[in-house]
Amino acid sequence: MKKENIYILGIESSCDDTSAAVLCNDEILSNVVADQKIHTEYGGVVPELASRAHQQNIVPVVNQAIERAGISKDQLSAIAFTRGPGLMGSLLVGTSFAKSLAFGLDIPLIDVNHMQAHILAHFIEEEDHQKPPFPFLAMTISGGHTQIVKVTSYFEMEVLGETIDDAVGEAYDKSGKILGLGYPAGPEIDRRAQLGNPKAYKFTKPKVDGLNFSFSGLKTAILYFAQRETKVNPNFVEENLNDICASIQYTIVGILMDKLKLAVKQTGIKHIAIGGGVSANSGIRKALKEAEKKHGWTTYIPKFEYTTDNAAMIAIVGYLKYLEKDFSDFDVMATARLKI
Ligand code: KG4
Ligand code: ZN
């Protein structure tokens, strides 16, 4: 007998992207993301503006996701939404919307932890993407997160280390701001880094015990370095931008790789799954490929649209929880500081 298809609508609104996706079992039928350009002029996400933009976007984004999936909303089996962590105002928009729609359609509601979703995005069925075997190490690197997690099964996860201050993407964006680059600066630093000399300037790596990270010292070091050098040559930054970017990237990739190597040493696990917007970075990708050859690691990076904030990753967690009948009560609350 053919098994009945399960259709999950996923909703993501934890930061500055309003996203909705529809999935049939573990395959994505649609994944719509409305990013919010409004924050560019402020050089970072403004929470109040983000929640207002979510309110404007959520209805058209959900409608589009259902339309593109080619199903009707009456076919939906359940609705999954991001409960946290994230910006409270932003989370509330997705949470309230998901509750109302699930209530109206009389279908189960499933709350999802955003950090677990970044990791479980690896289990979306995709041609050319191999799913990591358990146990594996997951490193989530983005504008909001920097975490190394030991993943024993879909829902057994242990955070081994995380940032104690800025996230790695934030380090890119704040360094870029000092150098006069636009927001977000990560992609531009990455592009220039590939044209420059990574050993032109030396920035010291932070000393943080264990598997935790720190990136705020690097930003300060870059600020002082730029101030010092421009006193001598006012055009220093413009004249040496590619080398500066390459040196920053070299330092950041070094920090990430040092911690990953330590995590592999401590756990003996050599399957490494990467997620978050910074996984697009050419430096980290190259370093991971080298580690495959040098240390026998196997590394996994999902399709780009599933690494940045998106609802497909929320929907896949929804599907996995649906199979377990792990549903939420309707009084479930958005939680800004939700732990894995
Ligand atoms: O996952 P994401 O889209 O949003 C969240 O922060 O949750 O990640 C965005 C972050 C930004 O900080 C951006 O500068 C950084 O990822 N980023 C990169 C690259 N592409 C995006 N950083 C370094 N190299 C890149 N190629
Ligand atoms: Zn995220």
Task: State whether the beta carbon of 318 lies less than 6 angstroms from ligand 1.
Answer: no
Q: How far is 6 from 18, CA to CA, in rounded Å?
A: 23
**pLDDT for residue 1:** 54
Q: What are phi and psi of 94, to 5 degrees?
A: -65, -40
CA of 326 to the centre of ligand 2 (A): 23
3: left (phi over 0), alpha (psi -120 to 50) or beta: beta
Query: Which ligand has the nearest atom to the CA of 176?
Result: 1
Token pair for 49: 């503006």
For residues 67-89, give the mean pLDDT.
97
Q: Which percentage of the chain shows pLDDT scores above 70? A: 99
Token pair for 204: 């010291």
For residues 97-124, give the mean pLDDT.
98
CA of 98 to the centre of ligand 2 (A): 19
Q: Among 205, 185, 192, which Cα is nearest to 242's?
A: 192
Q: Near ion ligand 2, which residues have CB within 5 Å?
A: 142, 309
Task: State whether the beta carbon of 281 lies less than 6 angstroms from ligand 1.
Answer: yes
Q: Give start and end residues of each alpha helix (H) in the chain.
A: 47-69, 88-105, 114-120, 168-178, 186-193, 216-232, 236-239, 241-267, 282-295, 312-323
Task: State whether the beta carbon of 280 lies less than 6 angstroms from ligand 1.
Answer: yes
Query: Which ligand has the nearest atom to the CA of 279?
Result: 1
Beta bridge partners of 110: 80
Contact 274, 299 (CB under 8 A): yes
Task: State whether the beta carbon of 15 lies less than 6 angstroms from ligand 1.
Answer: yes
CA of 170 to the centre of ligand 1 (A): 8
CA of 153 to the centre of ligand 1 (A): 27
Atom of ligand 1 nearest to the CA of 170: 12
Task: State whether the beta carbon of 172 lies less than 6 angstroms from ligand 1.
Answer: yes
Q: What is the mean pLDDT of the chain?
A: 95
Cβ count near 331 (within 10 Å): 6
| pLDDT tens, position by position, 138-193 | 999 999 999 999 999 999 999 999 999 999 999 999 999 999 999 899 999 999 99
Task: State whether the beta carbon of 186 lies less than 6 angstroms from ligand 1.
Answer: yes
| pLDDT tens, position by position, 269-313 | 999 999 999 999 999 999 999 999 999 999 999 999 999 999 999
Predicted confidence (pLDDT) at residue 2 exceeds the cutoff of 80: no
